Structure 1
Amino acid sequence: MQTPPAHASGLVLAPRQRAYAVAVSCLGWAFDLFDLFILLYVAPILAHAFFDSSNQMLSLAAVYGAFTATLVMRPVGGYVFGHYSDRHGRKRTLVVASVGVGFSTALMGLIPTYQTIGIAAPLVFLLLRLVQGVFMGGMVAATHTLGTESIGPAHRGLASGIISGGGSGIGKLFASLVFVLVSALIPGPDFAQWGWRVMFFSGLASSLLGLFVFTRLQESPLWVALAAERKHGQAPRRGSLSLIRGGFVGVTLGCVLLTLTGGGSSYLTSGYLPTFLKIVNHVPHTELGLILSGSALCVIVASVLSGALTDRIGRRRGMLLSGAVSLVTIPPLYLGLSDAHGVGAIAFYTAALSAIGTFCYAPLLIVLNERFPTEIRSTGTAISWNIGFAIGGSMPTLVSLLANQVGTLPMTLAAVNAAVSLVYLATALFTPETKGVMR
């Protein structure tokens, strides 16, 4: 493995600035995933609004296919914005990408239904999902480097858990609360008729709030140091180091596989649970929103603990432990959830699945960061993360197609989750220890 070069930074952030950098990175990722989770919370409704709904599982698969289309475009955004971030800074990238995500999400709430304009409805919906995916890929280039580059080496695993898993949990919590609020204000048939549009409009509000916060952010000290070295001719010239020329092709492939399986585990739990609870457990809207809000809090706690654990026992051991726990617990939990009837039992299984589903996901950010030097860190991290999640995010679509009918869904989810955990374990086993190598 090629050891990333050290950069002696003249900029040392105060503790408050470090905490703010991690918090803002977490918030930026939360806003990104908030816009993504909105679709998952109204997937059954969108299946009827934008697609031919004569077959429930096929229309659901079509919605998740549009969700996957967003993920497919994220590597494009990761490549474009990754290069931009490595050349011009993490902060500027964060501002531009967050505005693009918010506007593309809000526009989805304006699309006429399939019953109104026919095939044009899913085509316009798909187009906006593609545009959204490019900007979401850009968010990764900034949020997934700025926070960890701003904090000391001893707590970068903790920062990884806070930003990636914590941001995921906060984004899910925001989406859950908005879902509860909109469902309460626009109940029953009206929500299915037009209330879901308000969910998409809220994406614009999140971007405007993010814009206010991001513009007050301090730039990454590692990137500032690199920029100073470039200015004085002490760092590689533009184009002299890349994923290919720097010998990072194998590193990138390994990182893609880690994010594919770690992210796939998250999508197969937190990502699929809103739909599972609706079509298998038949949970009403209000109870569903409250249960998912509680599970989002569990995701935040579990991800922070999982990330912090890698600061103590190492990244590799932490990933192996997380993969083993996921393998032996997620399949039986899904089977148990399918037989649960009371709200308390359903809430327990949902919280457990959401928390364990983030174990493998939380340390990924710092592992990716530590495998690339500062010159190409945004590019390498964003491409690895976005390609992995583009493939891992297709897991819900795959499960919907494999299940074919609602009755076989629990067993299908159990089997696919087990397979994903096994591949994650195998990949982690061959991943070298990276703790402490990022400078």
Structure 2
Amino acid sequence: MGTEVSGSPLAAAFASVMGWAFDLFDLFILLYVAGPVGHQIFPVKSETLSLALVFISFAVSILMRPGGAAIFGSFADRMGRKRIMVIVFAGVGVSTAVMGLVPSYAAVGMVAPVLFLALRVIQGIFVGGVTAVTHTLGTESVPARYRGLMSGLIGGGGAGIGAALASIAFITISAIYPGPAFIETGWRYMFATGLLGALLSLFVLRKVEESPLWLAAKNAKVSDKQASKPLSFKDLLSGRYGRITVLNIAVAAGAGAQYYLTSGFLPTYLDVVTPVPRDDRGWILLGASLIVVLAATSAGHLSERLGRRRTMLMIGTINLVALPVILLVIARTDPGATVTILILCCLLATLSNAAYAPVMIFLNERYPTEIRSRGTAVSWNTGFMLGGLLPTFVTLLSPTTADIPGRLMIFIAGAVLVFIIAAARSPETRGAIEQHATVTFPSAATIEEGTNAKPL
């Protein structure tokens, strides 16, 4: 069976990686400014309650992601990955930037938190749409032997790059607005940097080609008058694909929780649990973010050699012990021991992000091209929605900041167990995209000229 790749695979890979990076960059910003946002938008007497309210606003975006995945995933399966990618990149960037314009609670009262939450809803819908395109276009545009690597590079590497960009923005803006100035004004400029992601939509519009797999499937459907009834969104929730989707969500939830309870929670952990000075904290988070790019890409490529299932089980088993222990050690480390904390945070980020590096391509390989955007995006976003809610429960169930580490360890151990069990019940998927295919894929140019694909 032969399959041709996109005429611009590097452009598609770059857009997918950076699109997911800026998508998570826009989400990370809130984690870096949780304290100032709590002070300005959700002012209450209890520090942990204020933080919990901020994380609830973070959870609002997470909750909206499956809806956005269903909406934009359906469009991406019908209209193509590229066109929807342009729309969602612009939507996430603009909605994030507008958050920095929300007036403070002191100025407008309840209008401030209501407006902020409304913007989080809008952002969450667009974020769900981003996964529908970045998590399919990149892997569909490269040769089969690079799909595992691309999965790690987009899923984990993109997250690492996004976190690194957020760290750089935090370091830069903190230097421009030091101390109280950051709490009063600087945090607003953090949100304004979201516009950088919106600019990526212009690159996609001009340089990226449509997925060759999607074009081939579309062309085959048009040329085959006896084609079967198209798969619909309902097929994801019932019958054979319904069972697959439920198990996929469990895998994504376990993986997502490992991320959100470690890398996602780290900016707050180093602020309220182990209060590292702001300047040092920015550099520690930057280092931990950069190591993720290498770790996730390596883990994704490892799944191309060992298989998706075996790789997830191996990393999950290690994380069941390692992640709770590392979190406890960080909590007991002197905040001034910068080098020690940096090493621990890099190790924590490496292991937690390696866990979900193969998940993206695993989800891709569970669905045929016709519903791949919807299947992958709904599974990923629903799973990561569930995982993304856990930091909120950790803070709500912690009477004081001193109670956070113990609660966090319990939640992370439970999440890893879910991941291991779901992965163990899943089949090996490596090579399944070729098995799903029913046509030989011509080049994008050939399809657009109307040349029919030859059946296999």
1:174 equivalent in alignment to 2:165: yes
User: 1:232 maps to which residue?
Assistant: 223
Q: 2:145 aligns with which of 150, 154, 170?
A: 154
Q: 1:52 aligns with which of 43, 51, 54?
A: 43
Q: 2:395 aligns with which of 396, 400, 413?
A: 400
In structure 1, what is the Cα distance between the partners aligned to 2:344 and 2:316? Answer: 19
| Partner deviation per Cα, 1:161-198 (whole Å, 9 max, x = no partner) | 00100000000001000010000111111110011000
1:414 equivalent in alignment to 2:409: yes
Q: Which moved more, 1:407-416 or 1:85-94?
A: 407-416
**Equivalent residue runs for 1:99-114 within 5 Å:** 99-114=90-105
User: 2:318 maps to which residue?
Assistant: 325
* Residues 18 and 150 in structure 1, CA contact (< 8 A), matched pair in contact too: yes
In structure 2, what is the Cα distance between the partners aligned to 1:23 and 1:365? Answer: 16
User: 2:86 maps to which residue?
Assistant: 95
* Residues 24 and 214 in structure 1, CA contact (< 8 A), matched pair in contact too: no
- 1:246 Cα shift? 6.1
In structure 2, what is the Cα distance between the partners aligned to 1:310 and 1:237? Answer: 34
In structure 2, what is the Cα distance between the partners aligned to 1:240 and 1:32? Answer: 27
CA 1:414–1:12: 2 relative to 1, 3 Å:
closer
1:140 equivalent in alignment to 2:135: no
Q: 1:355 aligns with which of 347, 350, 355?
A: 350
2:378 alignment partner, SS class: helix
2:360 alignment partner, SS class: helix
* Residues 66 and 128 in structure 2, CA contact (< 8 A), matched pair in contact too: yes
In structure 1, what is the Cα distance between the partners aligned to 2:246 and 2:232? Answer: 21
- 1:213 Cα shift? 4.2
| Partner deviation per Cα, 1:332-377 (whole Å, 9 max, x = no partner) | 1011101212111111111111111112111110010000000000
1:38 equivalent in alignment to 2:29: yes
In structure 1, what is the Cα distance between the partners aligned to 2:239 and 2:140? Answer: 21
In structure 1, what is the Cα distance between the partners aligned to 2:120 and 2:205? Answer: 24
- 1:318 Cα shift? 0.4
Q: Which moved more, 1:168-177 or 1:412-421?
A: 412-421
- 1:245 Cα shift? 6.2
1:403 alignment partner, SS class: coil
1:340 alignment partner, SS class: coil
- 1:436 Cα shift? 0.4
In structure 1, what is the Cα distance between the partners aligned to 2:5 and 2:350? Answer: 35
- 1:215 Cα shift? 3.4
In structure 2, what is the Cα distance between the partners aligned to 1:181 and 1:146? Answer: 33
In structure 2, what is the Cα distance between the partners aligned to 1:245 and 1:348? Answer: 46
In structure 2, what is the Cα distance between the partners aligned to 1:19 and 1:52? Answer: 46
CA 1:236–1:215: 2 relative to 1, 3 Å:
farther
User: 1:81 maps to which residue?
Assistant: 72
Q: 2:294 aligns with which of 281, 297, 301?
A: 301
User: 1:287 maps to which residue?
Assistant: 280
* Residues 22 and 159 in structure 1, CA contact (< 8 A), matched pair in contact too: yes
In structure 2, what is the Cα distance between the partners aligned to 1:223 and 1:161? Answer: 22
**Equivalent residue runs for 1:17-28 within 5 Å:** 17-28=8-19
Q: Which moved more, 1:227-236 or 1:378-387?
A: 227-236
| Partner deviation per Cα, 1:198-226 (whole Å, 9 max, x = no partner) | 00011012211343345310111100101
* Residues 31 and 210 in structure 1, CA contact (< 8 A), matched pair in contact too: no
Q: 2:120 aligns with which of 113, 129, 132?
A: 129
Between Structure 1 and Structure 2, how many residues are aligned?
Answer: 430
2:354 alignment partner, SS class: coil
In structure 1, what is the Cα distance between the partners aligned to 2:249 and 2:427? Answer: 15
CA 1:251–1:49: 2 relative to 1, 3 Å:
same
In structure 1, what is the Cα distance between the partners aligned to 2:217 and 2:204? Answer: 25
CA RMSD, 1 decimal: 1.5
- Amino acid in the other structure paired with 1:393: G
**TM-score, L = length of structure 2:** 0.91
In structure 1, what is the Cα distance between the partners aligned to 2:83 and 2:6? Answer: 18
**TM-score, L = length of structure 1:** 0.95
Q: 2:338 aligns with which of 300, 325, 343?
A: 343
| Partner deviation per Cα, 1:115-157 (whole Å, 9 max, x = no partner) | 2212211111110000001111110100000011111222211
In structure 2, what is the Cα distance between the partners aligned to 1:378 and 1:12? Answer: 18
- Amino acid in the other structure paired with 2:215: V
User: 1:185 maps to which residue?
Assistant: 176
1:270 alignment partner, SS class: coil
In structure 2, what is the Cα distance between the partners aligned to 1:410 and 1:120? Answer: 34
In structure 2, what is the Cα distance between the partners aligned to 1:209 and 1:311? Answer: 29
User: 1:3 maps to which residue?
Assistant: none
Q: 1:365 aligns with which of 355, 360, 368?
A: 360
- 1:238 Cα shift? 4.6
| Partner deviation per Cα, 1:255-290 (whole Å, 9 max, x = no partner) | 111111101100001100000101122112221111
* Residues 15 and 200 in structure 2, CA contact (< 8 A), matched pair in contact too: no
- Amino acid in the other structure paired with 1:22: A
In structure 2, what is the Cα distance between the partners aligned to 1:363 and 1:226? Answer: 25
- 1:20 Cα shift? 2.7
* Residues 95 and 215 in structure 1, CA contact (< 8 A), matched pair in contact too: no
* Residues 326 and 359 in structure 1, CA contact (< 8 A), matched pair in contact too: no
Q: 1:243 aligns with which of 236, 239, 247?
A: 236
In structure 2, what is the Cα distance between the partners aligned to 1:430 and 1:324? Answer: 15
Identity of aligned residues (%): 44
2:433 alignment partner, SS class: coil
1:415 alignment partner, SS class: helix
1:388 equivalent in alignment to 2:378: no
In structure 1, what is the Cα distance between the partners aligned to 2:219 and 2:201? Answer: 28
CA 1:47–1:208: 2 relative to 1, 3 Å:
same
CA 1:53–1:61: 2 relative to 1, 3 Å:
same
2:432 alignment partner, SS class: coil
CA 1:187–1:377: 2 relative to 1, 3 Å:
same
